[in-house]
Structure 1
Amino acid sequence: MPQDIAETAYARSAPSGLSAYVTRQIERDNLNELISIAEAEHGLINEKETQAKRKQLMHAREQQLGG
């Protein structure tokens, strides 16, 4: 990994750590992929629908973590 990219990743990950930062980024990427798939199948999703799905995903994550 290029040094400047590594430094940026570590800076953005503080104080939660690089692992947590990467996990959150992958979750965001997955969400964006799901939105793209849904929009391709059903048309554009408005902000209200997007927020509802985010809440669903966050609730599911909390359930997995025992929250």
Structure 2
Amino acid sequence: MSVSVHEGTIAAVRARVGKRGISGDVEAAVQRQIERDSLAELIAANEEIHGPLTAEEIRAAEERTFGPTDRGAGAAA
């Protein structure tokens, strides 16, 4: 298989991982993209069934995950 990648992208990858790490880095990037696409499809299917999450539902989930925050309580951004 052959793929085309912009020269600047290859240079950036090579600078980060060296010549021998390019294939592994590209493989990891493709896998991350597949995971993101799958997650986006799952979210879309869930929203089709249940509707989108409200801001309050998202805030509550964030607090359950990360603990209480003062976001939205008049705090400076």
TM-score normalised over the length of structure 2? 0.47
RMSD in angstroms over aligned alpha carbons?
3.1
1:11 aligned onto 2:15? yes
TM-score normalised over the length of structure 1? 0.53
Which amino acid letter does the alignment assign opposite residue 38 of structure 1? L
Q: How many residues were matched structurally?
A: 48
C-alpha displacement of 1:17:
0.5
Alignment deviations for residues 18-59 of structure 1 (CA, whole Å, 9 cap, x no partner) = 010001000100000000000000137x88xxxxxxxxxxxx
Task: Give unmatched runs, 5+ long, in structure 1.
Answer: 48-67
What SS class does the counterpart of residue 17 from structure 1 fall into?
helix
Q: Which has the higher helix share?
A: 1
C-alpha displacement of 1:9:
1.5
Q: What's the % identity of the aligned pairs?
A: 15
